[in-house]
Amino acid sequence: MELLDATLVNWSRAQFAMTAMYHWLFVPLTLGLGVIMSIMETLYVRTGDEAWKKATKFWMTLFGVNFAIGVATGIILEFEFGTNWSNYSWFVGDIFGAPLAIEGIMAFFMEATFISIMFFGWNKVGKKFHLASTWLTVTGATLSALWILVANAWMQYPAGMTFNPDTVRNEMTDFWSILLSPVAINKFFHTVLSGWVMGALFVVGVSSWFLLKKRETDFALKSILVGAIFGLASSLLIAYTGDGSAYQVTQKQPMKLAAMEGLYEGKTGAGLVAIGILNPSKESFNDTVNPYLFKIEIPKMLSMLGYRDAEAYVPGIRNIIEGGYETKNGTALSFEEKQARGKAAVQALADYKKAVSAKDSIAATLYKSKLDENYAHFGYGYLDKPEDLIPNVPMVFYSFHIMVMLGMYFIGLFAIVLFFTFRKRIQNAAWLLLICLLSIPLGYIAGELGWVVAEVGRQPWAIQDILPVQAAISNISSDSVKITFFLFLVLFSGLLLAEVRIMIRQIKKGPENH
Amino acid sequence: MTTPAIFHKLYIFYRDGFKSMTIGKTLWIIVLVKLFIMFFVLKIFFFPNFLKSNFKDDESRSNHVGQELIDKAL
């Protein structure tokens, strides 16, 4: 049974990850390219320069291709919640449902209304009205992302709710603390900015292709200028929000931070691994094997990032499992203590249910109180051993470090592109143009790796500390999940192939034909 | 402007917009095929809502999830 469960959980996770990762191939370009084309149209409206209109229309067509092929791919994630993750869906219904409903009603209809004016309204509505429609389309897309990210942030840091044992649901008690949780705010800006960087890389990369082909030089130079300025600003801001995200992870998900850094032993004044290779011989959190084969650290930087204090103590994986170190909320509990509290919470839920059935209100009140007292560790009741608490360290570690390195690379790339652009030398720097073109996929890789850090790093939790994935799963056959996994693989690969082919065809046509 | 006139203008706006599409036609076909596959194949045959299709009301759903959560831990 345990093996069957593991197969079902693993296939369901793989399916969700695959769907989400494909979905995330479409979303960031929509967010980033949307803002860039809006900026270009703003320049057109302000200057009256037809070249900006031509550029806007070209990028708008590519935006349309990406939008059309990517639209509704995220709905499949909601299908999966209802089928594969029904315990989870029920358990969180009210909280998860509200942001998703707002997303569907407000943001999607906003996009749907204004996108038609944006595409059909050239020469039919006033310039300013058209410009407003373009910005509102992009705003709608960004607000869509906001509500989805708020729901995701709640899973990382559940707040603003209370558990009702009668309905077995978490019920929203404070909408604003869910919307404005520091995790949600950081996640929103960090994620949207990653889309902006992606859009900038795309614009600069495609424009570089035109310059390499010695076509559409004026259009390409204008696009590179806007793309590189926007990209540099976005990639600097994403470094800032990344710092905020690291701080939040340290406070709310210390195990994820330890995995991101491959940190097994806690230390004061902990350094940040700039470059490192993990030791594959490290098999257990409490063996004496050095977790690194090689590393270069920035002294005290991890303590600074995580606690804003260069001498702060950062717990490692072993410390988080064994507990006993001091935190701002008191002494950290060990895995066994948390597990005992989790078991007590689940037992209290079972006893509460029996008391309610027996119409014993005194006992029900007592068990409800015990449940409330231990609810913060409810999910630990499902974990058998300390190792269950540790995410896949190599995957999280390398994903995090490659993402950060790519982030730094993007800052440098946009800065160099701007330098060459202002010196009017970029069209002759074939090597740089080629690098820009080849850098387009790197934006996608960085974005996907960011999600790997966020989601693999918080395993085993579907909801941090409250519900692990093995309790969140439906009681269904793993065979059906395997079949749908491959169906999605085919469907999404087909969509991706269609997108790439149509995009390339449109790009080759050039801006004159849009 | 009267209400019917507004609707007529909207109709003309969308009609002309769709007529003048070039790449848009291919995209609409992709979108419609995709939505058909998603909602009329995947959703109906492969992704029934587990709780809605197996339990008739919210009370039985909450009892099921409650029992699952208890059984999986204890």
Q: Which residue of chain B has the CA closest to A91?
A: B65
Query: Does residue A180 share a domain with residue A149?
Result: yes
Query: Does residue A274 share a domain with residue A223?
Result: no
- CA–CA dist A358, A340 (Å, integer): 26
Query: Does residue A141 share a domain with residue A202?
Result: yes
Beta carbons of A483 and B46 less than 8 Å apart: yes
- CA–CA dist A511, A509 (Å, integer): 7
Sign of the torsion angle spanned by Cα atoms A324, A372, A184, A15: positive
| CA-closest candidate to residue A300, choices A275, A273, A270 | A270
Sign of the torsion angle spanned by Cα atoms B28, B33, B38, B40: positive
CB count, 10 Å around CB of A470? 21
Q: Look at residues A313, A330, A347 and tell me which one is the last residue of a structural domain.
A: A330
pLDDT at B36 over 60: yes
Best interface-test mutation with B: which of A61, A71, A83, A479 has the largest number of B CBs within 10 A? Answer: A83
Query: Does residue A357 share a domain with residue A306?
Result: no
Q: Look at residues A386, A404, A429 and tell me which one is the last residue of a structural domain.
A: A386
Query: Does residue A153 share a domain with residue A94?
Result: yes
Do β-strands A326-327 and A330-331 pair in parallel, antiparallel, or remain unpaired? antiparallel
Query: Does residue A368 share a domain with residue A447?
Result: no
Rg of chain A on CA atoms, in Å: 25
CB nearest A61 (choices: B17, B23, B43): B23
Interface of B with A in 22-41 (CB under 8 A): 23-24, 26-28, 30-31, 34-35, 37-38
| Closest CA of chain B from A89, distance in Å | 9
CB nearest B61 (choices: A90, A487, A495): A90
Count of pairs with CB atoms under 8 A, one residue in A, one in B:
120
- CA–CA dist A243, A248 (Å, integer): 9
CB contacts of A4 in chain B (<8 Å) are: none
Backbone angles phi, psi at A216, to 5 degrees: 50, 50
For chain B, report the end-to-end CA distance as a whole number of angstroms.
Answer: 69
- Give me the number of domains chain A comprises: 3
**pLDDT 10s digits, A333-390:** 999 999 999 999 999 999 999 999 999 999 999 999 999 999 999 999 999 999 999 9
CB contacts of B28 in chain A (<8 Å) are: 68
pTM: 0.93
Query: Does residue A268 share a domain with residue A411?
Result: no
Query: Does residue A111 share a domain with residue A249?
Result: yes
Q: Is B48 on the interface with A (CB under 8 A)?
A: yes
Paired with A277 in beta bridges are A294
- CA–CA dist A325, A314 (Å, integer): 10
A182-212 vs A430-438: helix axis angle to the nearest 10? Answer: 140
Averaged confidence pLDDT in chain A = 93
For chain A, report the end-to-end CA distance as a whole number of angstroms.
Answer: 59
Query: Does residue A415 share a domain with residue A360?
Result: no
Best interface-test mutation with A: which of B69, B70, B71 has the largest number of A CBs within 10 A? Answer: B69
CA distances from A348 to A344, A483, B74 (A): 6, 38, 11
DSSP assignments along A320-377, one per residue: HHH--SEETTEEPPPHHHHHHHHHHHHHHHHHHHHHHHTT-HHHHHHHHHHHHHHGGG
CB nearest B68 (choices: A89, A119, A475): A475
Query: Does residue A109 share a domain with residue A189?
Result: yes
Query: Does residue A180 share a domain with residue A264?
Result: no
- CA–CA dist A512, A408 (Å, integer): 35
| Closest CA of chain B from A72, distance in Å | 8
Beta carbons of A119 and B17 less than 8 Å apart: yes
- CA–CA dist A67, A144 (Å, integer): 13
Residue A395 exposure: Cα atoms within 13 Å on the Cβ side: 13
| CA-closest candidate to residue A514, choices A179, A59, A81 | A59
Look up the ipTM and state it: 0.84
Q: Is B72 on the interface with A (CB under 8 A)?
A: yes
Residues of chain A predicted below pLDDT 50: 1, 3
Peptide bond into A391 cis (omega under 30): no
The angle formed by the CA atoms of residues A378, A382 and A384, to the nearest 5 degrees, is 130
- Expressed as residue numbers, the domain containing A116 is 2-253+392-513
* pLDDT the model gives residue A5: 64
Query: Does residue A204 share a domain with residue A154?
Result: yes
CB A267 within 8 A of CB A449: no
Length of chain A measured in residues: 514
- CA–CA dist A22, A15 (Å, integer): 11
* pLDDT the model gives residue A3: 47
Length of chain B measured in residues: 74
Q: Which residue of chain B has the CA closest to A65?
A: B27
Beta carbons of B74 and A346 less than 8 Å apart: yes
